[in-house]
Amino acid sequence: MMIDLTDKVAVVTGGASGIGRGICKALAGQGADIVVADMNAQGAKSTADEIAATGRKAGIVDVDVTDRDSAAHLVAEALHLFGKIDILVNDAGVIGAAEWWKRPTPSDDDWDLVMAVNLRGVVNVSEAAAPHMKERRYGKIINIASIAARQGGADIPHYNASKAAVVSWTQSHALQMAPYDVNVNAICPGLLWTPMFEGLVERSISFGSTLGTNPELRDLGGREYFEKLVASVIPMGKEQTPEDIGKLAAFLASDDAHNITGQAINVDGGRRMN
């Protein structure tokens, strides 16, 4: 088996940094051209430049996934740039409103923004792209959820709930799109050292956390906390990376995965086995 995405076109929301950037690079590495969709113009340009350096084409589209009109504009721009959309990766996500890590419990603004971006954003962009994929009777939709969807937690219940909803939406949308030969799957990443997780570590150190069972972790800082946490809760004892998520996304985006749909697959070193 050899993953081949040559001349496929992928739209990746949240592609400016973190997991999204890893996914963009992985898809481009297998031959795809990429539309980097993000509100972070500087980060999106950096991702696009890295893709262009590999010899693949890259376009940039500013998008607010919480807005249906903006999602529709993204699809229209992608079609204008490349003429088709073969792959859609919904990665755009947040964990709270501004300075969420400074609050011991999520605020109303945290709940509203997380649900608007993490859930409705996935729905908005997916539904905007669906007519094109239905017409072509071809498409791969990949939603980035989280192992937080697998089990509730006391620390960030709003985020956990939003990611559980993404898994449920993935299953529902897979049933809607199956008659058109469009695959819809989700990936549930584990523990990655990304800007989002840096904030989570800071919050955990400040207020305590159920992330780690060892209270001594709270005496550590930043990256050291993260490394000790990984060692204590990940059976394989190693962190996950954006590249790890990108490799699974590339497989799910390929025709080798033509008979896989409605699934949520963990990439977490064995932390959640369901």
Q: Which pLDDT band holds residue 264 (cuts at 50, 70, 90)? A: very high
Q: Whose CA is closest to 12, among 133, 142, 103?
A: 142
User: What CATH superfamily is the domain 9-190+240-267?
Assistant: NAD(P)-binding Rossmann-like Domain (3.40.50.720)
Tens digits of residue pLDDT in 62-93: 999 999 999 999 999 999 999 999 999 999 99
Q: Go through 211-239 and write b for each residue having 16 or more CB atoms within 10 A of its CB, e for each that does not.
A: bbeeeebeebeeeebbebbbeebbeeeeb
Domain ranges within the chain, ordered by starting residue: 9-190+240-267, 191-239
For residue 13, which amino acid is it? T
Per-residue model confidence (pLDDT) at position 217: 54
Q: How many C-beta atoms lie closer than 10 Å to residue 78's C-beta?
A: 25
- Identify the active-site residue in 138, 159, 180, 225: 159
- Residue 159 bears catalytic tag: yes
Tens digits of residue pLDDT in 155-199: 899 999 999 999 999 999 999 999 999 999 999 999 998 877 777
Per-residue model confidence (pLDDT) at position 198: 76
Q: Is the pLDDT of residue 235 over 90?
A: yes
User: What are the contacts of 110-116 at 24+ separation with CB within 8 A?
Assistant: 110/158, 111/158, 114/158, 114/159, 114/162, 115/158, 115/161, 115/162, 115/165, 116/66
The C-alpha atoms of residue 85 and residue 75 are separated, in whole angstroms, by 8
Percentage of the chain lying above the pLDDT 90 cut:
80
Q: Is the pLDDT of residue 50 over 90?
A: yes
DSSP state, residue 182: E
The C-alpha atoms of residue 167 and residue 265 are separated, in whole angstroms, by 10
Q: Which pLDDT band holds residue 213 (cuts at 50, 70, 90)? A: very low
Tens digits of residue pLDDT in 97-124: 998 878 888 999 999 999 999 999 999 9
Q: What is the mean pLDDT of the chain?
A: 92
Q: Which pLDDT band holds residue 229 (cuts at 50, 70, 90)? A: confident
Per-residue model confidence (pLDDT) at position 86: 98
Q: Which pLDDT band holds residue 205 (cuts at 50, 70, 90)? A: low
